[in-house]
């Protein structure tokens, strides 16, 4: 089972939930930080990193001596990453999306594959039992989905050797990076807080992820703060609320010290164990629906 922990609004507690859920998980599990712009999960799980790799994207390198300035490459490129000005061929590797089109259409083979560094992938394990993967985007790099795909590819290699459940800590938002992070999952857990901003972005995220057809559940963090709009919305959309984490200073302080709530506080251990059970029931119910639909 792959669970993606997502939210529309940032700072609602995705990482808090991911760390504690991985902590209480009672089967082999790997925690994966796909918030590659601002990865934080390692600050709480404190993994021992055993391997690191640089992730790159394939971008064209021009050999101008072979170029006839036919413009086949620049006519095809949708991202303004290659251009022909008179008899000058220019590439802009930062703009490149790595589609390979320019290299494929060049009749003179004047373009060959080079690389742009996207960031770093590191992996290891936490607490001797939680597998750990993270991506860290290079500062100045604009595109995060390619690095996220590279992290997932690495993760899949190790899962082939040893099966494990996966908990993904996704980036905030509802646009392409957030969608890229939840795509590999079987189940999406939306974390929100019951405030007007929290509710507004929660609804955007629910609408963004609904077309993917994956079962979804909600966690309400800082319950007791703000108003009841999130609870009312969940009830009206039959979106199960799998856990509520109260708005209490002791929790905020534990987080500010870099603690995993489920490790530090016995009542939170119970809350997250129940959340794990709730996620499994949700997955089972959805499998049951699929079986019924196919029958």
Binding site for another protein (CB under 8 A): 8-12, 15, 37-38, 40, 43-44, 76, 78-79, 97-101, 104-105, 137, 139-144, 171-179, 183, 193, 195-197, 200-201, 204-205, 207-209, 211-212, 225-227, 249, 252-253, 255-258
Q: Least distance to another protein from the beta carbon of 234, Å?
A: 18
Helices and strands in the chain, H and E counts: 11, 11
Q: How far is the CB of 259 from another protein (least distance, A)?
A: 10
Shortest Å, Cβ 69 to another protein: 19
CA torsion sign for 22, 26, 30, 34 is negative
Of 121 and 279, nearer to another protein (C-beta) is 121
Least separation in angstroms between residue 58's CB and another protein is: 8
Alpha carbons 225 and 219: distance in angstroms, whole number: 14
Instruction: Yes or no: say if 155 and 121 are a contact pair by the CB < 8 Å rule.
Output: no
SS (H, E, C) the chain: CEEEEECCCCCCCHHHHHHHHHHHCCCCEEEEECCCCCCCHHHHHCCEEEEEEEEEEEEEEECHHHCCCCCHHHHHCCCCCEEEECCEEEECHHHCCCCCHHHHHCCCCCEEEEEEEEEEEEEEEECCCEEEEEEEECCCCCCCHHHHHHHHHHHHHHHHHCCCEEEEECCCCCCHHHHHHHCCCCEEEEEECCCHHHHHHHHHHHHHHHHHCCCEEEEEEEECECCCHHHHHHHHCCCCEEEEEECCHHHHHHHHCCCCHHHHCHHHHHHHHHHHHHHHHHHHHHHHHHHHHHC
Min. distance of Cβ 221 from another protein in angstroms? 10
DSSP code for 171: P
Which of 106, 279 has the CB closer to another protein? Answer: 106
**Closer Cβ to another protein, 160 or 257, answer by number:** 257
Kindly state the smallest distance separating residue 225's Cβ from another protein, in Å: 6
Nearer to another protein, 253 or 274 (CB): 253
> Which CB sits closer to another protein, 28 or 93?
93
What token pair was written down for 239?
């979106």
* In the complex, least distance from residue 270 CB atom to another protein, rounded to whole angstroms: 24
Based on CB atoms, which residue is closest to another protein, 73 or 279? 73
Closer by beta carbon to another protein, 122 or else 144: 144
CB of 183 to another protein, least distance (A): 7
Cβ proximity to another protein, 30 vs 192, nearer residue:
192
């Amino acid at each position: 089972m792959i669970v993606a922990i997502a939210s529309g609004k940032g700072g609602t507690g995705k990482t808090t939930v991911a760390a504690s859920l991985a902590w209480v998980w009672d089967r082999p599990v790997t925690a994966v930080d796909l918030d590659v712009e601002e990865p934080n999960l390692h600050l709480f799980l404190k993994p021992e990193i055993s391997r690191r790799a640089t992730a790159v994207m394939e971008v064209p390198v021009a050999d101008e001596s072979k170029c006839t300035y036919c413009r086949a490459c620049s006519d095809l490129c949708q991202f303004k990453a290659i251009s022909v000005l008179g008899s000058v061929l220019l590439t802009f590797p930062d703009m490149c999306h790595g589609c390979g089109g320019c290299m494929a259409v060049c009749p003179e083979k004047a373009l060959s594959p080079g690389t742009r560094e996207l960031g770093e992938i590191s992996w290891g394990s936490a607490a001797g039992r939680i597998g750990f993967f993270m991506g860290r985007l290079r500062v100045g790099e604009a595109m995060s989905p390619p690095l996220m795909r590279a992290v997932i590819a690495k993760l899949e290699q190790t899962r082939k050797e040893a099966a494990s459940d996966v908990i993904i800590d996704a980036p905030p938002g509802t646009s392409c990076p957030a969608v890229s992070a939840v795509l590999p999952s079987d189940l999406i857990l939306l974390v929100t807080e019951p405030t007007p901003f929290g509710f507004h972005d929660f609804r955007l995220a629910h609408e963004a992820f609904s077309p993917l057809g994956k079962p979804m559940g909600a966690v309400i963090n800082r319950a007791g703060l703000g108003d009841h709009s999130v609870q009312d919305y969940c009830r009206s959309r039959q979106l199960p609320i799998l856990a509520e984490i109260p708005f209490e200073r002791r929790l905020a302080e534990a987080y500010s010290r870099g603690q995993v709530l489920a490790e530090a506080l016995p009542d939170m251990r119970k809350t997250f164990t129940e959340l794990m059970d709730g996620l499994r029931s949700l997955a089972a119910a959805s499998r049951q629906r699929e079986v019924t639909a196919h029958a």
